[in-house]
Amino acid sequence: MTVKKSYLFVPATSEKMMGKAIVSDADCVIFDLEDAVAIHEKDMARERAKNFLINNPPQKDVYIRINDFTTPLWRNDIDAAIDSGAFGIIVPKAENGINMYTICEYIKNRLECRGEGERIFEVLPLIETARGVHFAYEIANSHPFIARLVFGSIDYCLDLDCELTPGGDELIYARSQIVNSSIAAGIENPVDAVFPDLSNEDDLYNEAIRAKRCGFKAKLAIHPKQLNTIHRVFTPTEDEMEEAREIVKAFEEAELSGIASISVRNKLVDYPVYKKAKGLLQYSSK
């Protein structure tokens, strides 16, 4: 399993920036056709992103953030993502399961028409409104193409007309709801929002820590300079990895003898603790 801790946004209007993003340390890259693109440049940006991916097949997963479902642009954006070989799409302003199902079925039909019905294509709904948070489970559970949810805190606070603060208390409910909905729907843990202040590494670190404690396993980035901090937060320390290896080894040996409750480093280890340690070891290949 590939561990994805960072998703780097880049405007699809610039080939130079797309090229830099592809060779950056980001685990994934998002070519943006929505907020980063002016209305009169939408068609140009779509073709530029499509042609870039066709001519420069990336060595990492690239997603395309399409324009939202209420616009006439989303179908053309999806067609470009599929034709270019993108790994998936980001869907902004995701607010209900019906719209997400419609989008996913459109993708499914397009892939089948191309003879690519078995192709992996991820759809990541961006939850950035009160309605989206309220219906997060419905969205997460709407279609098998939904791989994980993504949080958009800036637009969420605009929708609520509340203040986005350094402490982040105003985001606790939304983050918890998004994580809980993801786990209940059986999809991957979600991706946390962008941090807009490129000059404040300390606050980026603190925000990433808060998101991690809520259950997020990755974070959006708007500049390559943010990647080191994001990776540092969402990558287990060597001591955590070593403890996980000890837990897995000891528990599996005990299980062979019919024992399902042991002590490792003076801590109780049962099935839930073992499963958590086993999951942590997926990072060992990164």
**Binding site, annotated residues for substrate:** 65, 128
Spatial CB neighbours of 262, under 8 Å, sequence gap ≥ 6: 250, 251, 254, 268, 269
- Could you list the residues known to form a binding site for Mg(2+), using ranges: 128, 155
For 109, counting Cβ atoms within 10 Å of its Cβ (0-12 exposed, 13-18 middle, 19+ buried), the class is exposed
**How would DSSP label each residue in 10-27?**
EETT-HHHHHHHHTSS-S
**CA dist., res. 188 & res. 183, Å (int):** 7
- Could you list the residues known to form a binding site, using ranges: 65, 128, 155
**CA dist., res. 218 & res. 221, Å (int):** 10
- Angle formed by the axes of helices 15-22 and 42-55, to 10°? 40
* Closest by CA position to 178, among listed 140, 206, 144, 208: 140
- Angle formed by the axes of helices 172-185 and 201-214, to 10°? 50
**CA dist., res. 130 & res. 178, Å (int):** 11
